[in-house]
Structure formats: structure tokens, C-alpha cells
Amino acid sequence: MEFRLQDYREATGAFDKVAAIGLCEHVGYKNYRSFLELAHRCLKPGGIFLLHTIGRNHSVHHLDAWMDRYIFPGGMLPSAAQLGEAMDDLFVLEDWHSFGTDYDRTLMAWHTNFEKSWPRFSAEYGERFYRMWRYYLLSCAGGFRSRQIQLWQLVLSKDGIRSGWKGIR
């Protein structure tokens, strides 16, 4: 098994499996296709690509100004339509699992841990950071809870799995 920590645009080689976890949110809608083309190029025949991403229910072509400035510069959540268009004629969709309701609980656990740990960091980071990070965690949890944003895991194959994908749920 080989793991690489590098800019995805510099990836080379051919692999049986490729995973992109939390990356798609950072490439921007203009780069979804080239991102997936690169994953396709890096797969050997019969290869499998796992795409794990937060997504949204509708397509956008702009960044959320607050998130862009304070939390994730350049970040953008893809829609199902944008991902579908980007993977068109590249991959066989073997599985698309949505588990955003689980991520609401994850964010609330992070929020609880953040609140419990804050006294150790308050002097270093200050009230402004506290308010922004608390707002971020709770607004994201609200986005998942209201089902406006989702957490998706797509299993894509380069050539199609003849016997079908045997996912575990």
C-alpha cells in the first residue's frame, strides 16, 4: 500500500485504488472535471475510485464569502449534478452513499469538545476566533440537520465491476 501527501495535480502513476477524502470541496467547480480526469488517468484497468465529499442540494458557481474569508479559502461544495457532469463518460457509478445525518452528530460532538477545551486556548486565540469557530461548527451542523448539505461517498470504477459492487452498510 502506498500513501502520498502531495498536491493532487502532481499525481502520477497507476494504482488499483485511489481515494479522495475531503478534497473535492477544495478544487472548485471549474476543476471538478479535470480532478476526475486525473483520478481516471491514475487508475489501472479495473481500478476503483472512492470520492468522499460534502455536497449540496443545488449547484452554485460562487463561494460563500464568509467561509471563503475565514474558514476554507477557495472551498465550494459540489452538487450531485455537478459531480454527475464531471464524471460523465469517465466512470461507472457503483455506489453513492449519503450519510449527512451522521455528520450532524459528528459536528455536534466536535462542538462539545471545542467548548470543553476552549479554556485552555482562549488566551492564545481570543474571543473573535471562538465566536467564528463556534458559528462555523453550529451552522454546518444546522446545514446537515436541515438536509441542505450532505456527506457523500461515491464508489466509481474505471471499467465497471462485472459482478457489481458489494458495499457494506
Q: How far apart are CA 42 and CA 47, in angstroms?
A: 9
Q: Residue 112 has which C-alpha cell?
A: 462539545
Q: How far from the centroid of its chain's Cα atoms is residue 12's Cα?
A: 21
Residue-wise over 111-126: b if at least 16 C-beta within 10 A, else e? beeeeeeeeeeeeeee
β-bridge partners, 92: 157
User: Is residue 8 within 8 Å of 38, Cβ to Cβ?
Assistant: yes
3-class DSSP state for residue 44? strand
How far apart CA 69 and CA 82 sit, in angstroms, is 24
* Active-site hit among 36, 107, 140, 156: 140
Active site residue 140: yes
Burial (CB count within 10 angstroms: exposed 0-12, middle 13-18, buried 19+), residue 62: exposed
Q: Which residues are annotated as catalytic?
A: 140
